Structure 1
């Protein structure tokens, strides 16, 4: 079984699922840590997503997008979250 679902939960966990009061889950922290890194070339990031997090790239980006709207993620890593929010907003403005 992958990390995408927990037994008995009826579906995937929430991206910012708490590991304690007001804290991000370890998975959410790992997603933000992976996003902070620089990538050598095409495919390297997706490979790391699969190998390190055990997630399909599509699921990774779903979790990441939800994290960008989570205030706990902003408190945990404001530089990364604000950078990604700017990128997301620029892409939306292009459409």
Structure 2
């Protein structure tokens, strides 16, 4: 299923990191916002976010955010 509600172009890595920094806390609201704002499925968002957590360039650009996301991932959240 293609999502095109929020963005007319595919979400960039910068878009994902910006969203992750300000994402809703509630899982249901977060999933809905992912679809609406980024135009991708929640599964695809988390796949890409996991890749970014391990990316040296993303860590250099957003060290505090990446460290927080890495802690959450390591705790299984």
5+ residue gaps, structure 2: 4-10
Partner Cα separation in structure 1 for residue 71 and residue 57 of structure 2: 18
Deviations 1:37-88 (A, max 9, x none): 1525341111111111110000000000000000111011111100111121
Cross-structure match for 2:24: 39
Aligned length: 69
The higher radius of gyration belongs to 1
Distance 1:62 1:36, change over 3 A: same
Cross-structure match for 2:73: 88
Partner Cα separation in structure 2 for residue 38 and residue 54 of structure 1: 14
5+ residue gaps, structure 1: 4-25
Q: 1:72 aligns with which of 53, 57, 76?
A: 57
Cross-structure match for 1:14: none
Superposed structure 1 runs of 4+ greater than 3 Å apart: none
Larger relative helix fraction: 2
